[in-house]
Structure 1
Amino acid sequence: MEILKEELSPADFKATKSNRIRYSRNDFRQLPYFATDFEWKDYSPAVFRRILELDSIEYSDYQLSVCGDETLKEVTLSGKLGMVFLLSNDKRFILKTLRKSEVKIYLEMLPNYYDHLMKYGSSLLAKLYGLHVVRPAGGVKVYFVVFGNVIPSDICIFEHYDLKGSSKGRAENKVIIQERPVHKDMDFDFSFYLDPLVRDRLLAQIKTDCEFLESEGVMDYSLFLAIQMESPHQVDKRTSRRTDKEIIDDTSEGSDESSELTLADICDLLDRPGFRFGASLPARAVRAFKKEMGSSRSNRSRNSRAQSSAQECFNVLLFFGIVDICQNYNMRKRLEHACKSIKYDSKSIATVNPKAYSSRFQEFMSEVFLPEVSDDFSDSRVSGASSSNRVSAASSSKISVR
């Protein structure tokens, strides 16, 4: 991979690059607007190419995926349908069509967004890989942004969720991903138990990301969460997860290194360049009883250990990221907040100012991700080994060292 070593300048964030893409009639049938020529413009190409490098994505691979004839055809046809989401042919990227006003928001946020990614390699913010506009000959311009797909294309997902931390209007919608509907907050009945240190670091990163979005005046973002089940079964407290000793024995087999790790060792693991919380994070999932669904999530969280002997538990891998990060608190959103506040509790609606949205979102995340507690957790050396080995075993294949 060609590495761009030069520092980016302010001009790089304002630069554009125009090209013309041409297909033959044989390669591009059922053409939109009956055209084979497309005008293509890249916004801030050097900046987005640098972001691609951070995730070890070849620019040539990105071009083949996004500029392929089928993908380009779907993008241009979507210009007549309004805002839509599209999946690239290789399922590595998500394309979202935009209004021109939204392009301006992305470009204004880009310098600070780029600095944030450089400073926090484990950020959960959706990775933006490109901002483009395409126009077929004789057609209209279509603006779109390209994100990295949170969900790997080669895994089987149990459920998808789009979570904001609000309740009004947050029932299941008709969006389908990998032949499964995307559920929302009112359908969410899981809690995920993580090692306490991992949870603390995860919530700290969520706090950092939310503070960035708040400083940019952004609200209405979501945690997009995909759950991969490993072994669903009914378990009690004694069998809901493997013991620390079993995990240590399995992961240290054939290794000459000591398995006794301190909390500082785990901190070092989580600070590795390229570590991503949202890429295959192991957790113990607890699903609430149906009769508990009327109670608040906080109450269910506090009582979960007392009732864990009869709850449905799963070993899971979690894939997640913070998406929809370009909605600012504009006049339309302010009016929407004023109207909905008359009818509903202002704390239950999604449309609130960025500061209130950030606080509510963080509070909700602290109730979704809970600390795992075991009888032998007081021994920090043993539990530290368990935490590090579980994170390392599940995420080593996902970590790319810069």
Structure 2
Amino acid sequence: MAQKKAAGTSNGATRRRWWNLRQQWRMLGVFEINPEHEFYQLTSMIKEGMHASIQITTEIPSQNTLTTEHFKAEETRTHEGFVMQTFAAPVFAKLRASLNITEEEYMNSLCSDGYYLQFVSNSKSKADFFVTNDKRFFLKTQSRREVRFLLSNLQTYMDHLEKYPHSLLVRFLGIHRIVIPTHMKKYFIVMQSVFYPDERINIRYDIKGCEVGRWTNPDKEGKQIIKVLKDNNFEGQYIELGQEKSWFANQVKADAAFLRELNVLDYSLLLAHQPLHRDELEGKHSLANLVIRTTKSVDLDEHPAASDPSKIPLLKETSGEVTLDSTDCGSGQLEAAAESTGEGINQQYRSCPVSDARTDIELQEFHEHHRRLLPNFQNAIHVIDGSHCRYFVGIIDIFTVYGIKKRLENLWKSLRYPGRAFSTVSPTKYSHRFCQWIQDHTR
């Protein structure tokens, strides 16, 4: 009896140690904004204001077609001690729905009882970063100029995401302004975190495709911050994507071209990776996993019938036999999946019959919108599974316009760093160099 009691005590102590270690890892680089924190009052007000704002969108039917009025929409609500403004709410509600984020999920994450977390890193940004307690969404303070830039180009941004649903651009999910009389006025945006979930991520990079100022000392001893490494830290390494390389490089080109048209520079590719476990590698191409991934990868709003596996454009089931379409969807993974499912079901490649007009149209749209076979994973838009690693990727910081100030900075840096690659260059040069870096460091 005494031995059993001792064993139970030992097991309990072991579990507590593991829980404490997990909590320490989870809280690396973040601090809870508890009642003693300087931002506690602000974040409490943000939660209250966000709750009221999201509650309104839950009561309004989702918009299938967005109008100019939706993009110009402004809503102001007065609360005790502060005022909250929400901009273009119907637009962002539609964007959240396209990511399969329900309004209930969004509210539960942003307005939960759990404290917000303050993100602490070696970033030079002067903005304040807050993270929801589950680390799913970022809140970042922005200048009035940056918010006006985003709102004025919101239609173009949405058009790009409609054309490229699997774009690597960060997803903005809300724009707000909080006014605390006689105290502060702050604009902030809500973004989907690129690095979610981050429990197994142990290294992160911020890539701009240049060399000047692009090195970070990786030593983290005694510092409770997340070190985000840079271009020069990555030299000698590669993003090992295998069959996904072509899709990745082409999508970066499409996104960079979009930013070039906006006259934007100084954006970054956020990059992190974690090893794929054996069960993840083995299950990646199973039949069940393939069905889920294919369903994730098509637009169910445009093609409601896609919820039926027999009508998914890349996977067709007929009389107990599964046939995979041989058309390359940019990732090349369907062929690999067909070879490795091992489910005991006869599989063969086929060409779409001429009579199957609906499937032909869906496949054509799949290719035209440059979709890929998304992984069966949370935050799938920002996740790409390579041969041995899972990569988290996203393009962020898209507010820097190449105006007079940046042109003068370009002139000064040209004199200071002759012949060297620095970040402040024309959007055309920045875009080309950014894409070239991706091409050179991906295989």
CA distance in 2, matches of 1:72, 1:231: 31
CA displacement at 1:251 relative to structure 2 = 2.4
CA displacement at 1:117 relative to structure 2 = 0.7
**Structure having greater relative contact order (Cα 8 Å, sep ≥ 6):** 1
Provide the residue aligned with 1:224 in structure 2: 270
- The CA deviation string for residues 156-203 of structure 1, in whole angstroms up to 9 with x for no partner, is 01310000000001112799999541100111132123335x322221
Equivalent of residue 335 in structure 1, options 391, 408, 418: 408
Provide the residue aligned with 2:317 in structure 1: none
Provide the residue aligned with 1:165 in structure 2: 209
After superposition, the Cα gap between the structure-2 partners of 1:175 and 1:14, relative to the gap in structure 1 and judged at 3 Å, is: farther
Q: Are 2:208 and 1:194 aligned?
A: no
CA distance in 1, matches of 2:440, 2:111: 41
Provide the residue aligned with 1:4 in structure 2: 62
DSSP 3-state at the match of 1:319: strand
Q: Are 2:243 and 1:211 aligned?
A: no
| Stretch of structure 1 that moved more, 273-282 or 109-118 | 273-282
Equivalent of residue 283 in structure 1, options 363, 383, 386: 386
Question: Which residue identity does 1:219 align to in structure 2?
Answer: L
Structure 1 contact 158–229 (Cα < 8 Å) conserved:
no
CA distance in 1, matches of 2:246, 2:155: 28
CA displacement at 1:230 relative to structure 2 = 3.0
After superposition, the Cα gap between the structure-2 partners of 1:224 and 1:215, relative to the gap in structure 1 and judged at 3 Å, is: same
CA displacement at 1:13 relative to structure 2 = 1.1
Taking only aligned residues, the RMSD between alpha carbons, in angstroms, comes to 3.6
- The CA deviation string for residues 55-96 of structure 1, in whole angstroms up to 9 with x for no partner, is 111223323433557768979xxxxx9512221122111111
Provide the residue aligned with 1:368 in structure 2: 441
Question: Which residue identity does 2:386 align to in structure 1?
Answer: A
Provide the residue aligned with 2:230 in structure 1: 184
Matches within 5 A, 1:298-317: 315-317=388-390
Provide the residue aligned with 2:346 in structure 1: 256
Count of residues in correspondence between the two structures: 307
Question: Which residue identity does 2:196 align to in structure 1?
Answer: P
DSSP 3-state at the match of 1:192: coil
Equivalent of residue 61 in structure 1, options 105, 114, 118: 105
Matches within 5 A, 1:382-401: none
CA distance in 2, matches of 1:178, 1:155: 16
CA displacement at 1:138 relative to structure 2 = 4.0
Percent identity among equivalent residues?
Answer: 30
CA displacement at 1:205 relative to structure 2 = 1.2
Give the TM-score normalised by the residue count of structure 2. Answer: 0.61
After superposition, the Cα gap between the structure-2 partners of 1:261 and 1:272, relative to the gap in structure 1 and judged at 3 Å, is: farther
After superposition, the Cα gap between the structure-2 partners of 1:129 and 1:14, relative to the gap in structure 1 and judged at 3 Å, is: same
- The CA deviation string for residues 132-167 of structure 1, in whole angstroms up to 9 with x for no partner, is 111235421111111101122254013100000000
CA distance in 1, matches of 2:339, 2:224: 37
- The CA deviation string for residues 370-395 of structure 1, in whole angstroms up to 9 with x for no partner, is 2xxxxxxxxxxxxxxxxxxxxxxxxx
Give the TM-score normalised by the residue count of structure 1. Answer: 0.67
- The CA deviation string for residues 278-334 of structure 1, in whole angstroms up to 9 with x for no partner, is 5432224xxxxxxxxxxxxxxxxxxxxxxxxxxxxxx21101011111111122211
CA distance in 1, matches of 2:219, 2:98: 30
CA distance in 2, matches of 1:188, 1:261: 42
